[in-house]
Structure 1
C-alpha cells in the first residue's frame, strides 16, 4: 500500500521555500505544533518537511551567522519523565524510530511579521538597483523586482528620481552659479537662524554645493569680513552686481559646517536612538560605549542651534560639559523660554 506521503508529488524548490516561509511564523505564533498538523495545514509532505526542518532551516539566520544567530528547531519532549526541550535532528531521529511528534521554532523573531520598508529605504533600493542594471528594458528578475518595488511607491520603474534640495528659487541658484563662474559680487538679504536676524550683505560667492539634502553657497561675506556658508533657502532677496572680485585658491572642498578655533566645545552623551546626530552635525570626536550610548564633542558656532538640538533630543541627550560662556543649564533655560511663549 502506498503511503500518503508517497502519493504526494515532491515539491519544487520554489514551493518548499514558500511553504517554509509561511510555516515558520505560524509555528512560532502557536508556541509549537505537531509535525502531522504542519504537514496537513501547509500541504507539505512529511518526509520533505522533516528533511527541510533538520537540514535546511537550521542553516538560516542573520549575519554573522554564528550559532546564536541561526534558527533553532526544537523537539518538544512531552514524556512524563522529561519535560525538557532540546535541539533535534528530526530526520535522523525519524530514521532511528525515535518519533518526534511536536516541534517548536525559536530565534526567528524576524519572521514573526512581514518586512516593511519605509519610503526612504525603498527609494534607496531602487537607486541601488538602477545602478546595477545595464539594460533597463530587460526582463531579468532584478528588473521585475524593481518594477514591483516602484509600483508600491506609485511610480514607474523607468521613471527618473527627482531629488528636491530645498525650496530656493531655481533662478537664484542659476544666478549664484553665474556669479561663481564670473567672479561677481552678489547682494543678499539673509535670515540668520542662529541669531534670529535678517541682514543685508554683500558676498563674494566661491562655490554652490549640496550637503545633507540642502543647497549652500560658500562665500566671503564683506559684512562679517570672513568666509561663511549660507543656506540658499534662507536668502530672502538676491541681486547680482557687475563688481568683480579675485577668486580664492580652492584647495579644500567646502562644507556646510566650518567651525572656528574660537568656537566653544560641548560634550554630549547620546542614547542609541540619537546616533543620527553624528551625520547631521559637525562632530570632532566621538566614542561609542558598550551599552550603545555615544559620547561626542562638537563645536558650537551658534548657541541657538545647540538649544534647538537639545530640545529636539529631549531625554536622549545629556549635556556633560561646556566651554566658554555656555552654561550647563542651557537646556533648561531654552525649554523655559519656549514654554513662556505658550503659557
Structure 2
C-alpha cells in the first residue's frame, strides 16, 4: 500500500528544510532521515527526486540542486544557494507588508497577534518602504465590518435587516452573534437566529441595516458553528433536486456551482444539482436563456414556463400600442 500523500503546504515546508538538514548530515541513511522528518522512506525519495529539478533561474548545470547517493545514503553535493538566508527585494517586502495589513483587517481571522508580530518584524526590516503611501482597501463596507465586529466582541445581540436573494425578500430578525469569518472573498456573521431557531450565516454585504441591542448575546447549547472547510453552501438530500439539459455555453455552471452528477452526451450535458430554494432556481435559470433546459422537478418547469409567457406578453404589449394610429392622424 502506498504512503498517504501529504498536503502541498507540508511538503513545501519539508523541502525548504531538507537541504540544510542534509548539508549538516552528509552521508546520512535515508531511513534515518525519513524517521527524523516524520515521513516514509518512499516519500523522502520522492522529495529528493523533486529537489533534483529545483534551483536558481537558468536551470542549467550549476543552477540546480545536486546530490550523490551511496547505497541507502545521500549527500548534498551542490545546494544552489538554498542554505543562504532569505533576502527580500523592495517589491517583495512591500508586497508582504500590504498582504499582512490586509490580512490583519480581515474579519474572522484567528491569531491576529501573530499576524501583527510578523507585520512589525517585516516593517522594521523594510525600513522606509513600510511607510510607502499604499492604501489597503478590502472589497466590503469597512465601516459596517468594524461595527459588526465590535458588536460581536462586546457580546451583544443584534437586530438585522437582511436581504435573502434565494427568496428575493428582506426580513428583520434578532440574532445572537457567535463569530465572524471569511469564506472565499466574502465576510460572514455566524449567529443563532431567533426567528429560524437555528444557526445561520449572514453575509455582511447583504445586511441592509443593524442595531446593537442592550441585551447580551446568548446562543443556546444547540448553536453549533458550521463547518465551512468545503464552502458555505453544503447541499444535502433535504434540498430540492433540479435536473437540466445544458448546451455548450452553459457548461460553466458545473464549475461554478456544486453539482451532484454530470452525464456528458454529444451536443449537451445532463446535469443534476441541489438548490436551496426553487424560487432562486427559477430566477437563475431564466437568466441563462435557451442554452439550459429544465427537465425537473415539474413545478419548476411550470414556474419557468409561466415566467417566459409573462415576459413575452410584456414584449407584445408595446407592439399592439404601436399599431394604433397616432391621435389626430
TM-score range, shorter chain: 0.3 to 0.5
Larger Rg: 1
Return the TM-score normalized by structure 1. 0.45
